[in-house]
Structures are given as C-alpha cells and as structure tokens.
Amino acid sequence: MKYDLSDRLVVGIASSALFDLSDCDAVFREQGEDAYRTYQGTHADDILGKGVAFPFIRRLLALNGLADPRDPLVEVIILSRNDPDTGLRVMRSVAAHGLHISRAVFQQGRSAHRFMPALNMSLFLSANGSDVREAVADGLPAGHVLRTERVDDDADQELRIAFDFDGVLAGDASERIFRREGLDEFRAHEALNATTPHDPGPLRDFLAGINRIQRLEEEERLEDPTYRPRLRVSLVTARDAPSHERAVRSLRQWGLRVNDAFFLGGIDKAAVMRALDPHIFFDDQVSHLNGTAPATPSVHVPFGVVNASPEVPG
C-alpha cells in the first residue's frame, strides 16, 4: 500500500537549517566540492550539532505521540543539495539525535524545492537564502532560517509558533497600498474592507495544518482534563486598530485560529518576542527580523513587495 501524505502536515527541511554545518561549509567554500565530499566521507560518523531549526523540528515531530505510530500527524522530509553519498552524515546525525525522519531527497548541487508539491509540503526551511528565494519565486511556501544565540530547553515539550500577518499568512495587497499611499489610506482601506477576507499568503496552509493538530489536542483535553496542549500559536503584527479587524475576520473566514494576537502598531517586535519566547517566528521584513533573531529563532519569508529589492538578512 502506498504511503499517503495528503492528510499529514509535511515540512521540508534542509540540512543547513536542521544541523550546524559550519565545519563542512568552511571546507566547501575554501577548498571546493571535491574536498567537501572527501571531508564528509571521512567524517560520516561524526554527529552534526543542532542547527537553528532543530528545536522546532524536534517538538513538531513529538506531536506524533497524539496519533497511532503507523499513521503519524507530521512528516518531516530532508531536502538536500548533498549527493546521496555525502548525505549519509546527515541521515546518521538524524538517527543519532533520535529524530523520526526516514525520508529524504538528495540532489547534488541543486535545490530540491520543486518536489514540494509532489510531497504535499506546506513549508520548506533552509539556511540557504538563495534556495528559499527561488522557492518563493516559484510560488512555494519557504523560509530562510537566520542565525540565533538562543539556547533551547530540551526538557520543554511545548511548541510555540509566532507569525506575522501581511506577506506571511496573508498576501501583500494591503502592504502595497500602505507603501503607495501611506498609513492613513491603508487604515481607511482596511476598515472599508473589514469583512472581505485577504488573499492567502505563503504560510496560510501551514497554519491550517497546525490547527488540525490543535483540534486533536482539544479533543484530548476534553477526554482528559489534566492534558496540557503543547501547541500554541501567536499572531504578531504591526497592524493596530482599526486595521486589526480585517486580519481577525480573514482568519475566521479561512477557518483558522490563533491563541494570541499582538497588534503592535509600530512597537518593536523584538521586545515582545523576548517575552513571548516562541520557538520559531515567521516574518517577511528583514528590518523586523534583524531585531528578533539574536534571541528568537527567526525565519525570513521573502515574499511580496517588501522583498522586491533584495536584502540580506542579518
């Protein structure tokens, strides 16, 4: 019987986001591909350290404990530029860290993002900004994982996810109005269209997959009042009143929900993130992420008008 991905939350992860590849990346940059392949072969049994997205992936996979092991809720698939031979170190590191990841796509020197639709992926994470920009340009939901100084608490099983709204969960039509006509016209437009849902953005379907698991957690809590849900989702946006209403109504009309919403109206997101302490935060604006990334695992979604001019996240 074929393995059906259609009803699962499927996330693609590059080895550069899952693990710390600083040692082998330095070899590739300084000595070239042949030296890199030799290095990976001789270090195939050396376990790679945890990367920025490792805590997020570990917690995401742990949610499979809510379901029959033969029918997992979450599937994580490696998408790698390594060839199968040099990819052995990645898969051995996956096993050594106890991650239940058994599927991978290795494409020597090429980004494998074009296989995302075939694998029903609603998210692809990579530390390679060029690969992410190519995926987003092809209309695929992808994010560039940025460096962080945060040290994860391995004992904590809760998974806290934070999203920006425009250009992440929603499209960028309103952002275009703001940039073209200014804040007052943006607010007036959003108030006038408060009951009209936004077009979906690149990560709308990923949130839908998260919400499906949250509904299972709610069912578990109803059966067992002592059960503490592990998933918590927050919306953190520069919108404020009256433009907040259209965001809330859009989520409702999409059949989606968040646990918390922060309508900051220009307040620095970094300070809020330090208090909220999510395990991952998605935003489309580099200016916001440069502030959040040092203390919060942050992901740049290079979508829409704000990313029309290339910027390099720091």
Residues forming the active site: 164
DSSP symbol at 71: S
Which helix (H) or strand (E) element contains residue 13? strand 9-13
Omega into 310 within 30° of 0, i.e. cis? no
Q: How far is CA 251 from CA 146, 244, 254, in A?
A: 27, 11, 5
Length of the chain: 314
Give me the torsion for CA of 300, 301, 306, 311, rounded to 10°: 40
Distance CA 223, CA 221 (A): 5
Residue of 300, 71, 62 lying closest to 159 (CA atoms): 62
Contact 254, 237 (CB under 8 A): no
Token pair for residue 215? Answer: 């509904």
The residue ranges of DSSP E strands in 116-244, in sequence order, are 121-126, 142-145, 159-163, 231-237
Q: How distant, in Å, are the alpha carbons of 71, 110, 146, 239, 277 from that of 269?
A: 38, 35, 16, 12, 12
